[in-house]
Amino acid sequence: MRKIEFRSKIRVKITFAMISCSLITALLISSISICINYNFSNEQVFEKLKIFSKNYTNIFDSDLRLIENSINVMSPFISESFDKDKFNKNYNHIEEYKQNMNSILNKIAKDINTDKGINIYSSIESVYFTFNPEITGNVYEIWYSDKKKNGVLEKLDSDSDINDPYIEWFYPENEKMNWYYEPIKKKKGIWIEPSEEPELGTDVISYTKAIFKDDTLIGVLGIDINVEDIKNTIKNINVYNSGYAFLINKNRDFLIHPKININDGSKSEYNKKIKFLLQEIEKKESGILEYKLNSEGKILAYSHLKNDWILTFVVPMSEIYSSIKIQMILNSIVMLLSICMVMLIALYIGKTISRPILAIAELIKNTSEFNFDDDISLRKSIKNKGEIGVMAQEVLNMRRILKETGVDKAARMQMGQLKKEFPLYDKAHMDTLYAPAKTVSGDFYNIEVVDDDFVIGVICDVSGKGVSAGLSTYAFNVLFQEAILHNQKPIDILSYLNKKVDKFLGQTYIAACCFSLDFKNNIANIAGAGISQFIYSSDKRYYKEKIVKGAFLGMFEDSKFDQEVINFKSGDKFYFFTDGLDFIVEDEKIKKDLSEIINNYDLIKFLNNNLKFIQSKNRLIVDDCTLIGIKIK
């Protein structure tokens, strides 16, 4: 049994279909899952940052409010206890008033020392009240500070440097005295940006307020906060793993930033890079922005403090969405593993489904060639309860019916009548190509020996195909045997056959080519009736297609036929063929190179190989094909 070779096997299609469906499903599920998780993570991140920003803003606002409230609570006592008339007339009243202010600040200092009343996130560095030098005639300042860094506010001398009298600092243009003159100008409490406090050796942020009685300036009351503590607080804010916080003032200048030094040029350079962000920050009290800086995506959350400063938080997008990336990787791994599992399952299922189908397909192909040698695999498939079992049963029924017709026996008998070798084996060598379009062919050839030096041959193509054409070839062969008893010239044999075909075969037309080979005189005589072409090639690489015209046998009662006489010699070749050969040599390149093939190769072998290639592509032969090749020895 010849096994069929499929270019696209059914198990490959089944496997591919299952894998494709699994892949599409996995991709859809993964994509939908990632989109949902991305949107959910986005909302979650934004919500978390909003809450995060709001919480810390409330903490810092609470600290600022406590400082402001402390100043606001003290302000009325300072104002109400001031008597301008007594202050101007009685020096002792000045001292009394100073003692009174000292008592108030001492009480506040003790409250702060014992953590009463003011409980803030950042430590208070000092509490002070500076009298207006214009009403006292000199600088008087009551100052309690944590100079020893032990958390206890102690009274200090405000003018300890005799070489640099404090009174000389008091003029509005002195930037070091902004804490004093700014609240006087604005007549309200203000926050002073970070500045160095020389006496304490540290940077402080101050809240100061000018105290008035009617329109008379009494002095300035203030509290200093340690900047370093605020820095540490901001630096220790954990915004995911690598996020950070920073503080900017109302002018959008950096006050505290863990990544840049606010005292050098990097501050202004960084300001330029995020200028667009600072402009957006001004528009709302709080919000979240996405931006790119140095090709890195970031998310920024911000909130305005009550003193117009802005607390800001920055988180890299790569960190926020790292969980989504991990999920994508896990999804990809799961998808690949699933595809591998599906592939194995698909291969098994595909093989299970395709095995009986392929077996049935092979048997159908062999049945078409009337090969009934093997029914074992078909009988096994009948046990299948599904469509495959039904298919196998019907094929078995078809094979049984075809066996009963005996067509296969007729085909074998027809093949048995065809000569495989030249009858005068010492005179010439013969090769043949015989390929029926159906099991029984309408093509036929025969070579009969007249004597030891003379043979007569014929090749014919009966109209129609299959069994009816095959029966006609039997009748034609009988007529040919009868014709050569009366005639030895091919042209006379064709004339004789033309009359007999019309008489005995009715409306059947036969294309034929009759030839004789006279080895004694080395003469070939070829006549054509419908088969008008043959090929002659000499040993000198001479190749030519010869034409012998003539009508089909049985078409006209008085048909005339042409003949060609050729003097041959050793090595010459003759090729006689039916029109089915055109299908085998349909490729233009083969036709073009036919001369080279004839002279340098075995033409019959070449055409047989080409025929097998055509059949391997599951292409049908549209017509019976026969070729006889004779090489003179």
Say yes or no to pLDDT of 602 above 70: no
Higher per-residue pLDDT: 501 or 259: 501
Q: pLDDT for 141-171, tens place per residue?
A: 888 888 777 777 888 876 666 677 888 888 8
What Å distances lie between residue 311 and 59, 68, 246, 284, 597, CA to CA?
11, 18, 6, 13, 91
Say yes or no to pLDDT of 219 above 80: yes
Q: What is the DSSP letter of 235?
A: H
Least confident span in 7-11, 264-268, 619-623 = 264-268
Average pLDDT score over residue span 373-389: 66
Q: How far apart are CA 222 and CA 149, in angstroms?
A: 19
Say yes or no to pLDDT of 593 above 80: no
Bridge-based pairing state of the strands 190-197 and 202-213: antiparallel
Domain chopping of the chain, boundaries:
81-229, 237-320, 418-632
Q: Do domains 81-229 and 418-632 have the same CATH topology?
A: no
Provide the pLDDT confidence category of residue 410 given band limits of 50, 70 and 90.
low
Q: pLDDT for 49-61, tens place per residue?
A: 888 888 888 888 8
Provide the pLDDT confidence category of residue 402 given band limits of 50, 70 and 90.
low
Least confident span in 192-206, 303-317, 370-384, 592-606 = 592-606
Average pLDDT score over residue span 194-215: 83
SS (H, E, C) 274-294: CHHHHHHHCCCCEEEEEEEEC
From the options 3.40.50.2000, 3.40.50.720, 3.30.450.20, 3.40.50.300, give the CATH code of 81-229. 3.30.450.20
Q: pLDDT for 443-489, tens place per residue?
A: 889 999 999 999 999 999 888 766 777 778 888 888 999 999 889 99
Higher per-residue pLDDT: 266 or 84: 84
pLDDT at 1: 38
Provide the pLDDT confidence category of residue 521 given band limits of 50, 70 and 90.
very high
Q: What is the DSSP letter of 176?
A: G
Higher per-residue pLDDT: 401 or 126: 126
Say yes or no to pLDDT of 592 above 60: no
Q: Edge-to-edge, what's the strand order for the sheet holding 510-518?
A: 443-451, 454-462, 510-518, 523-529, 563-567
Q: What are phi and psi of 575, to 5 degrees?
A: -130, 120
Tell me: domain 418-632, CATH 3.20.80.10, correct? no
pLDDT at 373: 65
Q: Which amino acid is at 232?
A: N
Say yes or no to pLDDT of 3 above 60: no
Say yes or no to pLDDT of 368 above 50: yes
Higher per-residue pLDDT: 136 or 619: 136
Q: Environment class of residue 294 by beta-carbon count within 10 Å: exposed (0-12), middle (13-18) or buried (19+)?
A: exposed
Average pLDDT score over residue span 239-250: 81
Higher per-residue pLDDT: 374 or 395: 395
Q: Environment class of residue 373 by beta-carbon count within 10 Å: exposed (0-12), middle (13-18) or buried (19+)?
A: exposed
pLDDT at 143: 87
pLDDT at 621: 67
Provide the pLDDT confidence category of residue 332 given band limits of 50, 70 and 90.
confident
Say yes or no to pLDDT of 497 above 50: yes
**What's the chain's average pLDDT?**
78
Beta strands in 364-442 (DSSP E): 428-435
From the options 3.40.50.10140, 3.30.450.20, 3.50.50.60, 3.30.160.270, give the CATH code of 237-320. 3.30.450.20
Assess contact for 212 and 187: CB atoms under 8 A: yes
Q: pLDDT for 540-574, tens place per residue?
A: 566 678 888 888 998 888 888 999 999 999 988 89
pLDDT at 618: 55
Average pLDDT score over residue span 234-238: 80
pTM of the model: 0.48
Q: Which amino acid is at 400?
A: R
Q: How far apart are CA 7 and CA 223, in angstroms?
A: 91
